[in-house]
Amino acid sequence: MTVSFARHQFPPVIIRHAVWLYVRFTLSYRDVEDLLAERGLDVSYETVRRWVLKFGPLFARELRRRRPRPTSRWHLDEMAVMIAGTQFWLWRAVDDEGEVLDLLVQRRRDKAAAVKLMRKLLVTLRLNVRHPIQCFQRLCFLLI
């Protein structure tokens, strides 16, 4: 699906830049308005807000579509983290290039949740695993 900029007063380059500024640097709409005013563009913060609401999800979908597929080699990390003084368990699925595929944070060290995360990854990524039962057995062995 292509993004249509029909019936907008400003060129697509300016709209993309305003949305990028808002999302990338976590600025307020008024900050983006000020930055565009410094470049000589008279755009209200309300216009920037409408652009972000209209085009933000479309740009995000396009970026997700262009992202390269994760490699077939990945591993599951487990670590204890402290959040607000409480210990939690963090499970991360990381591919061999260091890209985080998915994560799970929970209070208890739960084998069933880790297996569920692994199954979800196998289904969503459509990874080619020769022996999925052995993978689950190894995971269960590590969690005991």
Residue 3 domain flag: no
pLDDT of 47-74, one tens digit each? 999 999 999 998 888 877 887 777 777 7
Contact 78, 89 (CB under 8 A): yes
Domain that holds residue 16: 12-66
Residue 124 domain flag: yes
Q: What predicted TM-score, i.e. pTM, was given to this entire model?
A: 0.55
pLDDT of 92-122, one tens digit each? 888 887 878 888 888 888 778 777 777 777 7
Asked if residue 45 and residue 88 are part of one domain, the reply reads no
Rounded distance between C-alpha atoms, residue 55 and residue 63, angstroms: 12
